Amino acid sequence: MPKFRKKPVEIEASQWFKNGDHPKDGTDRMQPDFSECEGAVVRYFRRPDVPGTTPCRHCDKTMHDHGWIDTLEGGHIVCPGDYVITGVKGENYPCKPDIFAATYDEVIEQKKNLTIGELEQILREPDRKVHINPDGSVSAEIN
C-alpha cells in the first residue's frame, strides 16, 4: 500500500477548558462567569437526549463541563483540555491533547536584522537561540 506524509502546514490552536476559553469566543460580551452568552466557536453542549450529569465516554467528566463545536462533518463534542484547531480553510475542530502533542510542534518565529540593543537584550535571556545567517545578519528565535 502506498504511504503518505502530511504536508507541513502551520495552524492556529488553543487549549479549551471551559466556555469562553477560545480566543474567538467573544468573551468581551460575556458575563464574568460566562453564564449569559454562548461562545462564538465553542458553544455549550446541549442535547435533549443526553442529561448534563451523564459522564463523557472520552474523559468521564459530566457533559455539563463540555462544549460543542460545529465542524465540516456536522459537529463534535469538546472535552475540557482538548485543543481547538483552526484548519487551513478556516474551519474549527477539536483534537485530543495526546494526538495534538504527537502531531504538532510549536512554531518558533525568527526575527532577522536585529539591532544591537535587541541582540544585547536577547543574549541576557536564558535559553534564547541566536543565529548568524550566511549573509552575516543575525536572527533569534522569538517565543
Residues 117 and 63 in one domain: no
Residues 124 and 62 in one domain: no
Q: How confident is the model at residue 80 (pLDDT cuts 50, 70, 90)?
A: very high
pLDDT of residue 123: 73
**d(Cα 66, Cα 19) in Å, to the nearest integer?**
8
pLDDT of residue 99: 94
Residue-number span of the structural domain to which 26 is assigned = 12-103
Residues 56 and 82 in one domain: yes
Residue-averaged pLDDT of the chain: 81
Residues 70 and 116 in one domain: no
Q: How confident is the model at residue 94 (pLDDT cuts 50, 70, 90)?
A: very high
Residues 99 and 118 in one domain: no
For residue range 123-135, what is the model confidence (pLDDT) as tens digits?
777 776 777 777 7
Q: Is 91 helix (H, G, I), strand (E, B) or coil?
A: coil
Cα 102–Cα 107–Cα 113 angle in degrees, nearest 5: 160
Enter the pTM of the model: 0.68
For residue range 3-59, what is the model confidence (pLDDT) as tens digits?
888 888 888 999 999 888 888 887 555 555 545 567 888 888 888 898 989 999 999
Residues 113 and 49 in one domain: no
The mean pLDDT value for 57-69 works out to 92
Residues 16 and 62 in one domain: yes
DSSP conformation letters of 58-79: TT-SBGGG-EEE--TTS-EEE-
Residues 38 and 62 in one domain: yes
Residues 24 and 61 in one domain: yes
